[in-house]
């Protein structure tokens, strides 16, 4: 038995299961959203949230602006090597680290839960599938849609 099947109430089944980039998975049942992290270790961390308590789900796309600024920092560092090697290496290093962090944080999903101070942060392997899976649960008629219907 897996941690997800053990955490579900009797008679409830998993409708959708998605993998995470960092290891583990997200499972969606009729009433719960289950997140298992550290699945490869002997002691997986399981978070179970009732779907009624999910207030908001946001997904951060890749930040192209920050990536361009990071590449420019690396370029400026390489360009200014002859003027001052230490400062040039600092610029290039900071730009490279910033680019790495920006790339690493792409597709970060945050699930805000009512009654919980911090949102649940995770990195789905397939961001589009994650959004499509959770969209029917969170779609609420917005003002734009009600204006179009009138």
**What are the pLDDT digits (tens) for 78-95?**
999 989 899 999 999 999
Round to whole Å and give the CA distance between 17 and 132: 12
Q: Residue 91: give the domain boundaries.
A: 64-104
CA distance 64 to 6: 41
Please indicate, yes or no, whether residues 71 and 43 belong to a single structural domain of this protein: no
- Give the contacts of 44 (CB within 8 A, at least 6 positions apart): 3, 24, 36, 37, 38
Residues in the chain with pLDDT < 50?
Answer: 1, 140-150
Is position 20 within any domain? yes
- 109: tokens are 């999903």
Q: Give residue 60's pLDDT.
A: 87
Pair 48, 72 in one domain = no
pTM: 0.72
């Amino acid at each position: 038995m897996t941690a997800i099947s053990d955490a579900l109430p009797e008679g409830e089944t998993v409708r959708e299961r998605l993998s995470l980039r960092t290891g583990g998975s997200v499972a969606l049942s009729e009433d719960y959203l289950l997140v298992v992290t550290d699945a490869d270790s002997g002691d997986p961390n399981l978070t179970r949230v009732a779907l009624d308590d999910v207030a908001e789900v946001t997904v951060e796309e890749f930040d192209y602006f920050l990536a361009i600024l990071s590449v420019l920092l690396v370029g400026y560092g390489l360009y200014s090597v002859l003027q001052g090697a230490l400062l040039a290496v600092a610029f290039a290093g900071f730009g490279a680290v910033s680019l790495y962090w920006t790339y690493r944080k792409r597709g970060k999903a945050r699930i805000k839960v009512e009654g919980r101070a911090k949102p649940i942060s995770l990195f789905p392997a397939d961001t589009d599938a994650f959004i499509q899976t959770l969209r029917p649960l969170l779609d609420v008629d917005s003002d734009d849609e009600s204006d179009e219907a009138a």
